[in-house]
């Protein structure tokens, strides 16, 4: 398939790029990651209020732009290139997809408009202490209470932007053993949130403790169990993969730029064959990862077997970004290891991203099962 963005989609990319550049790029991310909220509020304001991107995938009937995952990919690739500290992945991708896939029309009417306007953010809280991404690992309990209420109890970890989101979409196990998704206001009594110390400070994660949290039974999104949640996660993995493509491209640009100006033995290091081969390999990884992410974005709108495509793309793009981030540090030599240089920020983002929405091994096993093969085992480091 030959893929090309339309002129309208390219214009969205240019607007996002301008907004990032005007805000300071990676320097703005450096400032934001040291704040308690770990959010570049000015950039988020521009993306939401000025450009209307918080509701990019939300239907027009609910105040959104009514676009799709191709446009999501166009935006988040630019955000990934600058390590932007904004809740786009968590709210505009992960939570929006979960509500659209699992919610009823009435729940869409209630939950999506504030998100589309940028007045509220949401996130999906599904991982628990062990970090197992499978639905079988969900232990948070949903107990039926009097007065048509449900009581939620459990602990969620690694919740992206969970310490600042206004709405938490919480997976829990019902008394009959099914997995359900509940919309829980972050300010509800019994909800405790704590930002976790993480390797990647440019993307905040939180631990959320639910201590007998009472919510109306109507806060359960739909009744489809795990399948709609799994499809929402698949779409979010495609978005994350595109973000990683942007990060990998930024690493390549850093490496090429440095190779042109850094001299050893009276010559630019870019004239050395070892450096040339490294940069050429990075280029191949970036371009193949980009092709994979773009194709998966198209599949997100057209293909029923989205989870398999998303798993393959997630595994490949995560590995490509990690390799490019590591190689750009090697190209830079000693300076690449310092706090002052941006290379280490990309490396930390790449390393943390390999397990953010499921591990690379999980993704590869998903693909293997679709081919009738057994688990691939521990191939995450390859």
What pLDDT is recorded for position 159?
A: 96
Contact between residue 99 and residue 90 where contact means Cβ atoms under 8 Å apart:
no
d(CA 279, CA 77): 20
Query: Is the per-residue pLDDT at 1 higher than 60?
Result: no
pLDDT tens-place string over residues 197-243: 999 999 999 999 999 999 999 999 987 889 999 999 999 999 999 99
Q: Alpha-carbon distance 45 to 53, whole Å?
A: 10
pLDDT in tens, 120-178: 999 999 999 878 888 889 999 999 988 889 999 999 999 999 999 999 999 999 999 99
Radius of gyration of the chain (CA): 21
DSSP letters of 139-168?
--EEEEETTTEEEEEEEEEEEETTTT-SEE
> Where residue 382 falls among pLDDT bands split at 50, 70, 90?
very low
Q: Which CATH architecture has domain 226-370?
A: Up-down Bundle (1.20)
Tell the CATH superfamily of the 7-120 domain: Acyl-CoA dehydrogenase/oxidase, N-terminal domain (1.10.540.10)
For domain 123-219, give the CATH superfamily. Butyryl-CoA Dehydrogenase, subunit A, domain 2 (2.40.110.10)
The pLDDT-based confidence of 40 (bands split at 50, 70, 90) is very high
- Identify the bridge partners of residue 149 per DSSP, sorted by sequence position: 145, 216
Residue with tokens 């440019």, as numbered in its chain: 202
Does residue 379 register a pLDDT over 50?
no
167: which strand partners? 122, 185
Per-residue pLDDT for 314 more than 60? yes
Question: pLDDT digits over 71-116, tens only?
Answer: 999 999 999 999 999 999 999 999 999 999 999 999 999 999 999 9
Distances (CA, A) of 82 to 16, 19, 85, 125, 209: 11, 11, 9, 26, 32
Kindly state the tokens that stand for 9.
């989609």
Domain boundaries, the chain: 7-120, 123-219, 226-370
Cα dist. 12→139, 170, 336, 339 in Å? 41, 32, 32, 32
The pLDDT score that the predictor gives to residue 2 is 63
- Per-residue pLDDT, averaged over 376-380, amounts to 49
Does pTM top 0.75 for this prediction? yes
Burial of 184 (0-12, 13-18, 19+ CB in 10 A): buried
């Amino acid at each position: 398939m030959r893929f090309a963005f339309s002129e309208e989609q390219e214009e969205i990319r240019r607007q996002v790029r301008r907004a990032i550049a005007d805000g300071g790029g990676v320097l703005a991310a450096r400032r934001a990651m040291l704040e308690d909220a770990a959010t570049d509020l000015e950039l988020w304001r521009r993306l939401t209020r000025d450009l209307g991107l918080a509701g990019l995938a939300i239907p027009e009937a609910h105040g959104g732009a009514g676009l799709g995952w191709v446009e999501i990919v166009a935006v988040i690739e630019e955000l990934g290139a600058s390590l932007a500290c904004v809740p786009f992945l968590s709210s505009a991708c992960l939570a929006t997809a979960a509500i659209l896939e699992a919610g009823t029309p009435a729940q869409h009417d209630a939950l999506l408009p504030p998100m589309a306007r940028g007045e509220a953010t949401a996130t999906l809280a599904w991982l628990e202490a062990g970090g197992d991404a499978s639905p079988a690992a969900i232990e948070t309990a949903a107990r039926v209470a009097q007065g048509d209420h449900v009581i939620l109890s459990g602990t969620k970890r690694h919740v992206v932007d969970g310490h600042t989101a206004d709405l938490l979409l919480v997976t829990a196990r019902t008394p009959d053993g099914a997995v359900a998704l509940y919309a829980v206001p972050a300010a509800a009594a019994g909800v405790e949130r704590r930002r976790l110390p993480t390797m990647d400070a440019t993307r905040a994660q939180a631990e959320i403790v639910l201590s007998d949290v009472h919510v109306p039974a109507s806060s359960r999104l739909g009744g489809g169990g795990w399948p709609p949640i799994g499809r929402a996660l698949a779409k979010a993995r495609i978005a994350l993969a595109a973000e990683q493509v942007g990060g990998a491209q930024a690493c390549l640009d850093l490496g090429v730029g440095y190779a042109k100006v850094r001299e050893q033995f009276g010559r630019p290091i870019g004239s050395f064959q070892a450096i040339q081969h490294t940069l050429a390999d990075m280029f191949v990884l970036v371009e193949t990862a980009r092709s994979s992410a773009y194709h998966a974005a198209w599949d997100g709108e057209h293909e029923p077997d989205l989870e398999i495509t998303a798993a393959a793309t997630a595994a490949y793009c995560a590995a490509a970004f990690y390799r490019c981030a590591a190689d750009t540090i090697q190209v830079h030599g000693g300076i690449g290891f310092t706090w002052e240089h941006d290379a280490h920020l990309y490396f930390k983002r790449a390393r943390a991203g390999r397990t953010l929405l499921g591990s690379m091994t999980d993704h590869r096993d998903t693909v293997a099962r679709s081919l009738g093969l057994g688990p691939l085992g521990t191939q995450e480091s390859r």
